[in-house]
């Protein structure tokens, strides 16, 4: 007897395997140790703080909008001023700002800046 090409929806183990197949690569890609610094004009203390906070944001928030909100709030609290943050996969930019840091993790770009 041939096996059916249709997967049974009643088998919970098959759906668990399926979801892990898609989730695991994302979790592996979005690890804090995969953060890459692209460019910055900040001092070393703020740069290290931004990288550390991005790692925390990835662990706690996960999605792009929440990562941006987390970074903005933490930098506003710790470094004062009005910080802005853009997190995304495809955007163009041209900024005249006082301080900025541009980081990558996997294919996600993070731009944190103060004008």
CA atoms within 13 A on the CB side of 79: 22
Report helix, strand or coil for 78.
Answer: helix
- H or E segment to which residue 5 belongs: none
pLDDT digits (tens, 9 = 90+) for 62-87: 789 999 999 999 999 999 989 999 99
DSSP conformation letters of 20-67: HHHHHHHHHHS-GGG-EEEEE-S-HHHHHHHHHHHHHHHHHT-SHHHH
Domains and CATH numbers, the chain: 35-114 (3.30.740.10)
pLDDT digits (tens, 9 = 90+) for 33-51: 789 999 999 999 999 999 9
């Amino acid at each position: 007897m041939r096996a059916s090409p249709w997967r049974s929806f009643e088998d919970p183990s098959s759906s668990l395997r399926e979801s892990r197949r898609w989730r695991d690569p994302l979790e592996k890609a979005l690890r804090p140790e995969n953060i890459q610094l692209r460019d910055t004009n900040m001092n070393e203390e703020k740069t290290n703080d931004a990288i550390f906070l991005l790692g925390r944001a990835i662990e706690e928030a996960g999605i792009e909008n929440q990562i941006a909100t987390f970074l903005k709030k933490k930098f506003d609290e710790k470094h004062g001023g009005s910080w802005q943050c853009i997190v995304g996969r495809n955007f163009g930019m041209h900024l005249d700002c006082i301080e900025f840091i541009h980081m990558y993790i996997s294919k996600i770009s993070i731009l944190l800046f103060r004008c």
